[in-house]
Amino acid sequence: MHLPALQVVIPLIAAALCALFRHYFLAWFITILASWLSFAIAILLLLQVMSRGVISYELGGWVAPIGIEYRIDLLNAFVLLIVSGVGAVIVPYAQKSISQSIEKSQQSWFYSMYLMALTGLLGVSITGDAFNIFVFLEISSLASYVMIAMGPDRRGLTAAYQYLIMGTVGATFIVIGIGLLWAMTGTLNLYDLAQKIPLIENSRPVLAALAFLTVGISLKLALFPLHLWLPNAYAYSPGVASAFLAGTATKVAIYLLLRFFFTVFGGVEFFQSTPLPEILFVLSLLAMFAASIVAVFQSNIKRMLAYSSVAQIGFITLGISYATEIGLTGAIAHMFNHAIMKAGLFLLIGAVMFRLGSVKIEDMAGIGRKMPFTMAGFVILGLSLLGAPGTVGFISKWYLALAALQEGQWWAVALIVAASLVTMLYIGRVVEVAYFREPTVKVDQLREVPSSMLLPSFLLVGAAVYFGLDTSLSV
């Protein structure tokens, strides 16, 4: 079966088609077909991996390690599912939202860029080749810069530029790291590397490669304090792009971190012999607090959610820093859960933007009465974000706290809990404005958004509750 190749090729071809036809509705139609096909393929791949184990696919028939190998195990099958799943959900939503915020003539470019980004992210997740990772990562990053720059706000341009600079620095670090590994081992295949590195793992170039890769990937995943590009990028891009990037881009970078730490560089023991766990641990805690506290003081709700993303990424890397089974379970679960929650939240805020034309918290007075479903969804996802039981947020935080307990770190449990409390503050602030202020004249005229925007959002809300109760998939 050629499913692994199709997973990447379908969105790639679709992107080219969108650019070729340049008709807004046709482009959207192509996009939705490609996204849903990708999602279907990701599901099939996951089922195959679950029943038959690791899939190895040799691209073009060239045998690894000379040719490029696509290799899918449970972890990246899961990441493929997240990425394509978020994509499949947001495209139906995109049509209304995009046709309002972007000119007709430009819309096909947006879809084309979206598909390129999807291609890149799926490619990074599926490939087993280090240089291929770099190429796909750049495809997705370049496409994201364009998407951000297409935002309704002119500040989107500077945000995209900022992201471009930071992202390129990150990419350069990654390619230097990969280059060093290649120089030392003569191979780019991740699994081949995994066999050769343990023999030379304490040599200086290998450690340097690890350092370059860690910093480069950390930039991409917006690990505090390398997160500076993220708030503006999420805040000023079109709603659909924010939702897509928040749900997928950082998650794929986290996958890369896991892959390099635990597959390529010889697993848990080597990881713990380096100072990485401690560094990661401290930075994660800082992210959880600093970013959450900054989020409390934002007036733009999209910026608030963006800072919240930085904080939630801190939770994920905290789990990674423990490098225990429970810790990693928590991290991976939170990767999945945060993708659902944040994509959903950004979609709902996109809906507010669609009607209200503003995402200032102050302007949302009394909006809960005029857009009851949108805001109800926001409340549910917000609860999940702060870890209320019966939602996905609870499950991942439960595992993270258990992991901390296992290490005997009582105070870390206290910190996880305290960070959740800060989450309550910034979510609560929005809820209070939305429900308990008298609607302004402007808000009073609002109607609920069309169901093509509401249904995708509620699919994610539903998923946040469902996977909070049935954790067989994510844990």
Binding mask 350-369 for another protein (x = CB under 8 A): --------------------
Residue 371: CB minimum distance to another protein, A: 16
Structure tokens at 95: 């049509």
Nearest of 232, 294, 314 to residue 422 by alpha carbon? 294
Angle at 163 between CA 299 and CA 457, to 5 degrees: 55
* C-alpha–C-alpha distance, residues 79 and 69, integer Å: 17
Helix axes 239-259, 229-236, angle to 10 degrees: 150
Note whether 438 binds another protein by CB under 8 A.
yes
Note whether 471 binds another protein by CB under 8 A.
yes
Residue 468: CB minimum distance to another protein, A: 8
Q: What single-letter DSSP state applies at residue 59?
A: G
Residue 48: CB minimum distance to another protein, A: 25
Note whether 50 binds another protein by CB under 8 A.
no
* C-alpha–C-alpha distance, residues 241 and 347, integer Å: 9
* C-alpha–C-alpha distance, residues 80 and 121, integer Å: 8
Cis omega (within 30 of 0) for bond into 277: no
- The answer to whether 98 touches 42, Cβ cutoff 8 Å, is no
One residue of 198, 390, 439, 462 binding another protein per CB under 8 A:
390
One residue of 37, 75, 376, 402 binding another protein per CB under 8 A:
402
Nearest of 258, 257, 237, 255 to residue 246 by alpha carbon? 237
Nearest of 147, 150, 149, 143 to residue 124 by alpha carbon? 143
Note whether 293 binds another protein by CB under 8 A.
no
Structure tokens at 197: 């590195």
- The answer to whether 418 touches 404, Cβ cutoff 8 Å, is no
The smaller minimum CB distance to another protein, of residues 65 and 368, is found at: 368
**Can you name the residues that pair with 71 across neighbouring β-strands?**
56
One residue of 200, 417, 455, 473 binding another protein per CB under 8 A:
417
Q: How many residues does the chain have?
A: 475
Residues contacting another protein: total by CB under 8 A:
30
One residue of 194, 386, 430, 459 binding another protein per CB under 8 A:
386
The smaller minimum CB distance to another protein, of residues 278 and 432, is found at: 432
3-state class (DSSP) for residue 58: strand
Note whether 44 binds another protein by CB under 8 A.
no
Note whether 387 binds another protein by CB under 8 A.
yes
Note whether 473 binds another protein by CB under 8 A.
no
Note whether 388 binds another protein by CB under 8 A.
yes
One residue of 47, 66, 183, 421 binding another protein per CB under 8 A:
421
Note whether 407 binds another protein by CB under 8 A.
no
Binding mask 439-468 for another protein (x = CB under 8 A): -----------------------------x
Residue 264: CB minimum distance to another protein, A: 30
One residue of 389, 407, 445, 473 binding another protein per CB under 8 A:
389
Structure tokens at 56: 């190895």
Note whether 308 binds another protein by CB under 8 A.
no
Nearest of 314, 273, 297, 267 to residue 418 by alpha carbon? 314
Note whether 177 binds another protein by CB under 8 A.
no
Q: Pick the piece of the chain touching another protein (CB under 8 A) from 345-353, 398-406, 444-452, 457-465.
A: 398-406
Residue with tokens 């805020």: 349
3-state class (DSSP) for residue 56: strand
The amino acid at residue 317 is T
Residue 398: CB minimum distance to another protein, A: 7
One residue of 209, 381, 401, 463 binding another protein per CB under 8 A:
401
Note whether 193 binds another protein by CB under 8 A.
no
Cβ neighbours around 210 below 10 Å, total = 23
Alpha-carbon torsion angle 131, 136, 139, 142, nearest 10: -80
Note whether 470 binds another protein by CB under 8 A.
yes
Note whether 424 binds another protein by CB under 8 A.
yes
Note whether 43 binds another protein by CB under 8 A.
no
- The answer to whether 131 touches 123, Cβ cutoff 8 Å, is no
Note whether 475 binds another protein by CB under 8 A.
yes
The smaller minimum CB distance to another protein, of residues 90 and 401, is found at: 401
The secondary structure of 247-292 as a DSSP string is HHHHHHHHHHHHHIIIIIT-HHHHHHHSSHHHHHHHHHHHIIIIIH
One residue of 53, 428, 451, 452 binding another protein per CB under 8 A:
428
Note whether 414 binds another protein by CB under 8 A.
yes
Residue 420: CB minimum distance to another protein, A: 5
Note whether 395 binds another protein by CB under 8 A.
yes
Residue 431: CB minimum distance to another protein, A: 9
Binding site for another protein (CB under 8 A): 383, 386-390, 395, 398-399, 401-402, 405-406, 413-414, 417-418, 420-421, 424, 428, 432, 435-436, 438, 468-471, 475
